[in-house]
Amino acid sequence: MAEPTLKDVLAAVTAMRAEMATKAELAKLDAKVEGTISKLETLDAKVDAHRAETQAHRLETEKGFRELDRELTKHAEVHAALEKDVATLKRRPTRTAARPARRR
């Protein structure tokens, strides 16, 4: 095989340059990557803020449900006592409309 000539070497270098990205293209790509990373960081911050807000809302809702449960439990206790009183009253004999006068 014959030694490559200067023309062959220049043609090979030109072909390689055409295939390789230039520094300007790499700089553009780096800038796009940095922009994408920046957007991802912003999105991560928004997601974290939303998670914190959601967690706070869940805790507030849980607290509200506990308070509602306590209130309903008290109501149920009062209701049970009233039902017991009604049952007791139903067992009593009925009173007549006219009562005899009391003698002294």
- Can you tell me the distance from the alpha carbon of 19 to that of 13, in angstroms, rounded to the nearest whole number? 10
For 92, the 3-state DSSP assignment is: coil
- Can you tell me the distance from the alpha carbon of 20 to that of 40, in angstroms, rounded to the nearest whole number? 29
Structural domain boundaries of the chain? 22-89
Question: 37-86: per-residue pLDDT in tens?
Answer: 999 999 999 999 999 999 999 999 999 999 999 999 999 999 999 999 99
Say what the pTM is.
0.50
- Side-chain half-sphere CA neighbours of 2 within 13 A: 5
Query: Which whole-number Å values give the CA distances from 96 to 99, 100, 104, in the listed order?
Result: 7, 10, 21
What amino acid is encoded at 63 in this protein?
K
Task: Assign 3 a pLDDT band (cuts: 50, 70, 90).
Answer: confident
- Can you tell me the distance from the alpha carbon of 56 to that of 48, in angstroms, rounded to the nearest whole number? 12
